[in-house]
Amino acid sequence: MKELAKRFDYLFRSTRGLALVAIAAVGIVTAIWGTLSGPMVEWGVRDITVNLLGMDLIQADREGRIIMLYHTIAMTIVAIEVYFMTEILPMKRHEQVLINGTITVGYLLAMIFGLFFGYFGHNFAFHGLFLVGQTLVFFAGIMLVAALWPWKKDYLLPEGSPYARTKNGVDVERAAFFVMAIATLISATWGAVTGSFWANGHETFLGEDLIRIPHKTALQKAIIGHLHIMLTLIAVAITLIVGKWLDFKGKLHQWAMPIMIIGTITITFGALSIVWMPWAHNTIYVGSVFVMFSALLYVIYSWDKMIKEGTADIEKPNFFQKLKALVDDPFKFGSGWQMVFMNFTVSGVGIFMAIKLEEIFRVWPHREERITLTGHWHILSGIIATIILFYFMDLSGIKGKARKWAGWIIIIGSDLAFGAATVFSMKRLFVSDTAQQPLVNTTMLIMDFGLAAILVLLAIFLGWRLIDLFAKDGVWSNEFAAEKQANAKADLEAQKQKLAEIQATLDEVSK
Amino acid sequence: MKKMIFSLLLIGLLATACAPAPNVGAINDLPYVDTGVDPEAWATVPAGDFYASQHDHLTYVDEFEIMITDVTVEQYANFLNEAIASGDVTVGEFDLKVAEELTLQKEGAGGYYEGDPFDAYKHEEEIEEGDQLFAAMEEGLRMDYDGSTFTAMEAYVNHPMTMVTWFGANAYCEYYDTRLPLDLEWEKAARGTELDADGHGRPFAWGSDIHGNYANYYSSADLFEKMYGKLGNTTPVGFYNGQTYQGYETHNSVSPYGLYDMGGNVWQWTGDDYHDQHYRNMRGGSFYTYEVDLRVWKYNSAGPTHYAPEIGFRCAK
């Protein structure tokens, strides 16, 4: 019993354990719900899942169900990012505990009851608990914003710090996290306000189904803005997180962080102002340029660092030695590479669509345009997921051959799949409906192959972490001990500081 | 050794994918299948309310008649021949204006169209009065043309007419003093007036469920997918009528008013010209689409010059 309690403690009271539970939760949802579409339908697996679990899939509710599914996964991804942030950003211990505790209850309620409501009959108690869960996630966000307050004296950076700071010593990176968190809360409100109108005559829709309707309501536009910006902000958050992971600093950091703040504010304003501004898209483009430029600076810094560290013992490294050093650690290389790759499959496609909308995309049938739209944001979600995996697998201490295999399977598998998905979604550029069969068959197979490789890898990783929980001195135990030690040290520092403050007060009173 | 096995598996998988899968336009050797359904037959849909759209809005529609099947290749070939004879259709080069600054030249059959009201709204293209392409003479057209007469390819005689623009569909219907069905008419003809056990209007023309043998959609494993791969091909009109063909048992997927193929096989052009846009809607999904697009409220749309091997039509009056 005591041993079980220890594991429970690790899983729900340490940030690593919480992140592991959340990743496992997304993995399980992906494994089960992934059988409801794509090739799994063709192979008859969907029917088995539906019958085995007793799912109630009413055709008219499909769009609503998908929205519930997106939200349950998004809440969990947000929770994972928040766990990472509370671990890597200095904050008070009680703030970390409160934020992590609240968001954990929140995402679990949202996930469990959202899926129950969406897929197992419309019991409105489930819907209520889904909303309670989302509210708790939002509340955790407010606490995160408070904890990240960058002007707090404790978090100012000393003069000469290699990290971006203002003249007054404000940590600009912390400010970037802070701005991203505030932007996320505002953007979540956009969705929540519209969502609250659902029972009052507003009807469920998927954004891609509305694109050709000439007159959209303000609430419809609010939802379209909401879904775009939430995913963007999740991407901004993971970019900042991996920046901490690779100890992003120096001149490029000093440029990148203010640029990221400007980009985050601009792109958020642009996406939300779509409700009332006809030229909101231009604001979004400007914001995107800033955000992507900031990410580019991170990529330049991290690759340069990897090359320098990998060739430190070579006096004059040649190109191939530098290249070998760059790709030696696929986890760290991959975090930047996926951002570069994103430009071909997400940003590039988006910009191309915007420029050629009239001449190309609006000439295609709506269904083709819809596929391109859903394709590019599914790919962005997938890329974010791969970067989270790189980071968490690194935290889990995967080394040696396992690290290389895992890293390259993720990079090659995802890039093959996302590249094929991009070709598939843009197929009308190079092949007519009449002659598309070989291209469709090939791209579909590559997508299935790439995604299956990653999912199998994820299953192996989670299986390993599950087995590890049975070991007395497993990875979990070391992680837990290290975190306890770090927390104890932080508590000790806090106590010392508190004691010093009390002593100062006493000294002042006794004078 | 392990690496070799892995590489072989990978190559094998990719080779499978790259194995010749015939283009739908190049399939000309399929067997003729007689469904026994008469494509000349019409059904009457009485006036009254029905539950329209995904969210079941009670909506009134006047009485109308509608063809029980899509227009077949043979019917369209006959139309072209009659219309050429009467001077309403010509064969030659046509300008295909696909966007404001993009006009293509296509060889095919075409004729006059009176143009659409133009609101000059954002993204709207002007449809001007003049000659328009009805059906392009290119790979995918299931007819032969000997310089004077169009003849339906034998295997495709009773398949739905495809590769037809909205102008071509509209011209066919108008030539026989009929018209394309409006969106609401099409939807009512597909789903009827009843609510199902879940309290919704029918999601599919035949009811609430869908399985591979109910309709022709992507990877539905119908007779022709077994021959030509899972992207498949069109099926003869009225194919899903409960008959068994060469061991392949179909469900009788008629709509409440006795219409066939109101889900799957080919998208069907509808007749509405909505304000502030030039797009024309299509309904019903096709053999290229997943089952979700077969739900009766789903739309697809394209400019009226668009044509594809998965788009056909039927008429109403």
What is the count of residue pairs from A and B with beta carbons less than 8 Å apart? 119
**Cβ of A159 under 8 Å from any chain B Cβ?**
no
B residues 13..72 contacting A (CB < 8 A): 13-14, 16-18, 20-25, 54-56
**Cβ of A62 under 8 Å from any chain B Cβ?**
yes
Is a pLDDT exceeding 80 seen at residue B16?
Answer: no
Which residues are paired to B301 by β-bridges? B281
- Residue in B with minimal Cα distance to A43: B219
Task: Provide the pLDDT for residue A313.
Answer: 93
Residue B226 CA to residue B140 CA, distance in Å, equals 20
Query: Which chain A residues are Cβ-neighbours of B141 within 8 angstroms?
Result: none
Contacts of B264 (CB under 8 A, 6+ apart): B214, B215, B216, B217, B220, B240, B284, B285, B286, B287, B289, B294
Percent of chain B at pLDDT > 70 equals: 91
CATH number of A153-308: 1.20.120
Is a pLDDT exceeding 90 seen at residue A239?
Answer: yes
Whether A42 sits inside 8 A of B230 (CB atoms) is yes
Task: Provide the pLDDT for residue B34.
Answer: 92
Name the residue facing B200 among A60, A432, A445 (closest C-beta): A60
Q: Mean pLDDT over residues B198-212, rounded? A: 91
Task: Provide the pLDDT for residue B100.
Answer: 73
Task: Provide the pLDDT for residue B22.
Answer: 63
Extended strands (E) in chain B = 42-45, 48-52, 57-61, 64-67, 89-99, 102-113, 130-136, 143-145, 150-152, 244-245, 248-249, 267-269, 280-283, 299-302, 311-312
Least confident of A411-420, B100-109, B220-229, B273-282: B220-229
**Cβ of B306 under 8 Å from any chain A Cβ?**
yes
Residue B92 CA to residue B136 CA, distance in Å, equals 10
Residue B173 CA to residue B79 CA, distance in Å, equals 10
Most distant pair of Cα atoms in chain B: their distance: 73
Contact of A269 with A283, CB cutoff 8 Å: yes
Please give the radius of gyration of chain A, using alpha carbons only, rounded to the nearest integer: 24
Q: Which of B9, B211, B300 to mutate to test the interface with A (most CBs of A within 10 A)?
A: B300
Name the residue facing A60 among B100, B140, B203 (closest C-beta): B203
Give pLDDT tens digits for A57-90: 999 999 999 999 999 999 999 999 999 999 999 9
**Threshold 0.90, pTM exceeds:** yes
Is a pLDDT exceeding 70 seen at residue B9?
Answer: no
B residues 94..113 contacting A (CB < 8 A): 98-102
Name the residue facing A440 among B140, B231, B303 (closest C-beta): B231
Is a pLDDT exceeding 70 seen at residue B1?
Answer: no
Looking up tokens 């469904």, which residue turns up? B35
Query: Which chain B residues are Cβ-neighbours of A121 within 8 angstroms?
Result: none
**Cβ of A41 under 8 Å from any chain B Cβ?**
yes
A residues 160..219 contacting B (CB < 8 A): 203-204, 209, 212, 214-215
Give pLDDT tens digits for A450-489: 999 999 999 999 999 999 999 988 999 999 999 999 889 9
Name the nearest CA neighbour of B101 among A365, A372, A352, A360: A360
Query: Which chain B residues are Cβ-neighbours of A432 within 8 angstroms?
Result: 140, 308
**Cβ of A442 under 8 Å from any chain B Cβ?**
yes
Name the residue facing B24 among A434, A441, A446 (closest C-beta): A434
Name the nearest CA neighbour of B190 among B141, B256, B130, B126: B256
Is a pLDDT exceeding 90 seen at residue A343?
Answer: no
